[in-house]
Structure 1
């Protein structure tokens, strides 16, 4: 059997690792020109379900690489108002030396690519597919084609595979925009940063800060504080056309203006950020997870259940999908049972994310 995966995100890479470990022929096709091109975020929360999925699909040497490049685990979830008055605090037990509770997205993706060099084709933009006999022909924007027994759409919330397979599927714009930033943890920053910000994920009324403290940092950078500001176009004072066209430095300057009357420590942190690392993201979600027609085309991760980040479940649900789909494609179950399980599990994650998002962002239109 030959499996073609469209999308070299976390879910697609996890599936590729699991299938290769089981001896299945795999090719991954990614539209980005290289592994370093993508900007989707910085820090990823890894849940027990995500850890379990990684243990199930990854060869041991790849799993060890993921553990080595993960961040040191934190023990805190907390909330503050804009003047840094504490609103709530929840602590968690710290796991053992192999525990993975959070990880830098870039380091994670690179670790997940360990051993996959000859199986990933970059710069391959999916255009369409056609069912051929019992298999599928995949057509790319450059005019080339590939034939596989199974095509897996793992190409994210804007999935082109899903658009052809389930044209009636709706992805809703939440109206919330995020501006992500990175604050290098220099000695000067460590001298002023609130201790809570280095212990775990901290909300600050419309913004959030979370530490990325590496076990083994990538060559390109070291420890940092992830910062994200959220708001509607009205709150940010920019239309989408304006926001998504702004240079990174101008975008981060907008963040500085938004927090100008917040506690001076927040201002100091924002001023210490690497302004060139700022970028915006539009938060989108589905409200229901749909089954697809039986056949050689299946979906995984955000391609079938895009969700808000308000439950920290997106990446973990994609990993869960990858483990279950690996099982289905290697004889442990069936594609029909994968779809049935995925629909239930994915819908639960979407629902939790929506409920949390309505509270966090005051969403009223979804």
Structure 2
């Protein structure tokens, strides 16, 4: 599609991967992000990459960028395990690592930095999206909070679970609270901590639960090449309902970071001493809370010049470790659609059909896994919205 111009709202994993794929194919693309820089928002720490995400990266990333992803990724882990709060093993699954360049986990900040390689003139921070208008000439005008505007042939909303682009395009789209809150944190892996941490916690993703609705996930970030800002760490994610955590949402989300981590300290009282020691060694400045949200259905819509990618269209729980991978899959699909020739709206319609078909299964699996992991009841899908799927 000669002369195609694309605007992407959101400089997350999916938006950046899409930008890399489009730039590699000669498409003019601009990415706008409301944050002033890449580290301003608490979005999590460790990202699991599976075969789906790996294939997508291979399809969209130039060799130089792929190389930076590999160089700055974590040493691959080989374990998925569950324990009770006394560290009694409940289940274990191993995944032998045969490829020394395998990438099955990345640090979010290092990953995004690698994905920005070569995009200095493409990614623009400090641009808060507010609205768009599909113009009569086939272009889309995009407006920002400071009054600036830009136009493009295609607008892609890659702006996450609270997507403003989605709110404008699909105002009836339902995102549900599954009832679980998470407190994220990091434990720097000093020599003293390494000497005390359970071996399993350094091999892969481990989850411990006390049987009363509280749980804690532990996952290592052991860099091949650490960023200048910090070194290896253990991600800790404490989970539970507001009742299990002993705080209402108003209380939990109003706590400062030190007080927030005390919720984790109190919640692991009586757990195995090794877990207690890890919790005590955390960097409390890294703590932040989130609400776990998901969609329950993704209905087709009438294709135009505005489309969606990643959590903006299929928010899901982290229980399947598939959110980032599905966003990367979207990026590869959309890159192929926009660079494959033919009529633009027909290409976007094909992308949306394939993306929705794939994402529906992943979201459903994520909800099932969340119900088992957290002991919750899967939310019931709302009635299907009445939307035309005919392309103009």
Indicate whether the TM-score tops 0.5. Answer: yes
Q: In 1, are the aligned partners of 2:367 and 2:378 still within 8 Å (CA)?
A: no
The answer on 1:168 being equivalent to 2:172 is: yes
> Which residue of the partner structure matches residue 308 of structure 1?
317
Partner of 2:348: 335
Task: Report the CA distance between 1:362 and its aligned residue.
Answer: 1.7
Farther-moved stretch of structure 1 (36-45 vs 7-16)? 36-45
Asked if 1:103 is matched to 2:112, the reply is: no
Query: Cα distance, 1:130 vs. partner?
Result: 0.3
Mind listing any 5+ residue stretches in structure 1 that lack a counterpart?
A: none
Partner of 1:196: 200
Looking at structure 1, the residues matched to 294 and 149 of structure 2 have their Cα atoms a distance apart, in angstroms, of 31
Residue 18 of structure 2 aligns with which residue? 15
2-structure distance, mates of 1:69, 1:241: 38
Q: Please name the residue that 1:317 is paired with.
A: 326
Match of 1:75 in 2: 78
**Deviation of the 1:276 alpha carbon:** 0.8
Residues 365/351 of structure 1: CA separation in 2 closer, same or farther (3 Å cut): closer
The alignment status of 1:362 with 2:375, answered yes or no, reads yes
- 1: distance between equivalents of 2:297 and 2:373? 20
1:241 shift after superposition:
1.5
What's the CA shift for 1:238? 1.0
Per the TM alignment, residue 365 of structure 1 is displaced from its structure 2 partner at its CA by 5.8
1:135 aligned to which of 135, 139, 149: 139
Quote the offset at 1:201 in angstroms: 0.4
Q: Deviation of residue 363 (structure 1)?
A: 1.6
State whether residues 73 and 95 of structure 1, in contact with CA within 8 Å, keep that contact through their aligned partners in structure 2: no
Between the aligned partners of 2:269 and 2:249, the Cα distance in structure 1 is 22
Name the counterpart of 1:294: 303
Cα distance per residue 1:288-315 (max 9 Å; x no partner) = 1122221100100000000000000000
What secondary structure does 1:77 align onto? strand
> Alpha carbon RMSD of aligned pairs, Å?
0.9
Does the aligned pair in 2 maintain the 1:207–1:230 contact within 8 Å? yes
Could you tell me the TM-score, scaled by structure 1's length? 0.99
User: Alpha carbons of 1:332 and 1:90: their partners in 2 closer, same or farther (altered >3 Å)?
Assistant: farther
* 1:146 corresponds to: 150
* 1:256 aligned onto 2:270: no
Task: Measure how far apart 1:97 and its partner are.
Answer: 2.1
Pairwise CA distance, 1:124 = 0.6
TM-superposed deviation, 1:175 = 1.3
Deviation per CA, 1:335-357, whole angstroms, max 9, x where unpaired?
11111111110001100000001
1:2 aligns with 2:5: yes
2:220 is aligned with 1:211: yes
What is the CA distance between 1:332 and its match in structure 2? 5.8
Larger displacement relative to structure 2 (356-365 or 204-213)? 356-365
| CA-CA distance at 1:38 after TM superposition | 1.8
Q: Distance in 2 between matches of 1:8 and 1:239?
A: 32
The number of residues matched between the two structures is 366
